[in-house]
Amino acid sequence: MSAVRKILIVGGGIAGATLGCALAKRGIDCEIFEIKPDFSLAGTGMTIQGIALRAFLNIGVVNDIADAGWHHEKDAIIFTDVHGSAVVDPPARNLVGPGYPAMVAIRRQAFHEVLSRAVVKENVLVRMDTTVSQLDDCGDRVEVTFTDGSNGTYDLVVGADGIHSKVRTMVFGPVRSLYSGFANWRARWTA
């Protein structure tokens, strides 16, 4: 396979934006195509920890995430019973390094703004409101047609378009999702 010099990333979410920054830092030309017209997200939050935070250290945004989010010196997720008594209180492992939080709780919108700023800083081309309509595997390159009628040639196409990935369906055919039985309850603690 010839050297990968130009990459198309379909989807500008967490994976797509992070990959775009990481590739740009290595001098690889990449473009992100995002189907949404803007990056407005619902106001739910998330907890970023462990190897994910370490990845954000590598693309230079871990301090921005810590500043935009919330973290505590104990840095732990405590699992309680219905009365609030700790059932499991595992110590959080800091995989980022001394001086950094082991985990950060952050609003999704704030998190995405950090990633969006990083993408702009790394000069990654982002096209909104557009997605792929056709992928042609030409051996050492992929010819791509976009929904706005434009075309491009890439060494590699990355499907970072989420759990219902269109790219995955285009390459591998339809996939039936199965519910694994996992559930997650969230509550906000107000003292």
Ligand X SMILES: Cc1cc2nc3c(=O)[nH]c(=O)nc-3n(C[C@H](O)[C@H](O)[C@H](O)COP(=O)(O)OP(=O)(O)OC[C@H]3O[C@@H](n4cnc5c(N)ncnc54)[C@H](O)[C@@H]3O)c2cc1C
Contacts with ligand X, residue ranges (CB under 6 A): 10-16, 33-36, 46-48, 52, 131, 160-162, 166
To the nearest whole angstrom, how small is the minimum distance from the Cβ of residue 106 to ligand X? 9
Nearer to ligand X, 65 or 160 (CB): 160
To the nearest whole angstrom, how small is the minimum distance from the Cβ of residue 131 to ligand X? 3
Nearer to ligand X, 100 or 161 (CB): 161
To the nearest whole angstrom, how small is the minimum distance from the Cβ of residue 112 to ligand X? 8
Nearer to ligand X, 60 or 162 (CB): 162
Nearer to ligand X, 28 or 41 (CB): 41
Residue at shortest CB range from ligand X: 13
Tell me the backbone φ, ψ of residue 42, rounded to 5 degrees: -65, 155
Distance between CA atoms of residues 171 and 167, nearest Å: 6
Which residues, 6 or more positions from 141, have their beta carbon under 8 angstroms from its beta carbon?
A: 153, 154, 155
| Strand boundaries in the chain, DSSP class E | 6-10, 29-33, 45-49, 79-80, 86-88, 103-107, 125-127, 132-137, 142-146, 151-154, 156-159
Distance between CA atoms of residues 112 and 43, nearest Å: 11
To the nearest whole angstrom, how small is the minimum distance from the Cβ of residue 164 to ligand X? 7
Nearer to ligand X, 52 or 65 (CB): 52
Distance between CA atoms of residues 172 and 175, nearest Å: 8
To the nearest whole angstrom, how small is the minimum distance from the Cβ of residue 3 to ligand X? 26
